[in-house]
Structure 1
Amino acid sequence: MPENILDAVPDDLGSEVFEEIVRSPGVRIERIVSKGHASPDVGWYDQDENEWVLVVQGRASLTFEEGSTCPLSAGDYVNIPAHTRHKVDWTDPDEITVWLAVFYK
């Protein structure tokens, strides 16, 4: 049976919600649900895996340690190579942002 990435969005979004959809030896796929969330002020995501991320609904902005920013709206995606330090600057505080993140080796 098909499922819909926009179904069953949690009511409580006091913190970001990370839900694993698929896991195999080389790939992990997550749905992330945000509303006004951002990365902590200190520190960066620095992952051993590559990450391809798509904003399915909503808006967000990423910042990379080297100084560039990447605003994202519904339908926008970005590929982040492993060990590219980055953080989520902002997600829309007025609208739920749904991400699809694909982590791969």
Structure 2
Amino acid sequence: MNLLKDLPDDLSKEVFDDILSHKQVRIERIVSTGQTTPEGDWYDQEDHEWVLILQGAGELTYEDGSVIHLEVGDHTNIPAHTKHRVSWTAPDQKTIWLAVFYS
């Protein structure tokens, strides 16, 4: 599988594809086209999450109000139970995230 190819045709919603799933790690490809986490909703995950932008751009907003803008090649680590949301993704292109969840 090529992470930048074989993209879904219907991108009216974000698309989540598991690449690998194991007891202590899960790798996921996420494809966004302007989608965001609904206002008032926060991710509060049991696992740590490391994310990398392979294509496009996006922003993460944390519960404390801090914002991180990510472009191609940018990555960040989100510790478990750090409340965050996707506050912006590029509306005019496909944003491809690689997310690694680990305990």
**Aligned positions of 1:7-86 closer than 5 A:** 7-86=5-84
How far is the alpha carbon of 1:70 from its aligned partner?
A: 0.2
Give the % identical residues.
Answer: 55
How far is the alpha carbon of 1:4 from its aligned partner?
A: 1.3
The aligned amino acid for 2:17 is E
How far is the alpha carbon of 1:15 from its aligned partner?
A: 0.2
Structure 1 regions of 5+ residues with no counterpart?
A: none
The 4+ residue runs of structure 1 with deviation greater than 2 A are none
The aligned amino acid for 1:85 is K
The answer for the alignment partner of 1:6 in structure 2 is: 4
How far is the alpha carbon of 1:11 from its aligned partner?
A: 1.2
Aligned Cα root-mean-square deviation (Å): 0.5
TM-score, normalization by structure 1:
0.96
TM-score, normalization by structure 2:
0.98
Deviations 1:9-52 (A, max 9, x none): 11110000000000111000000000000001122000000000
The aligned amino acid for 1:59 is A
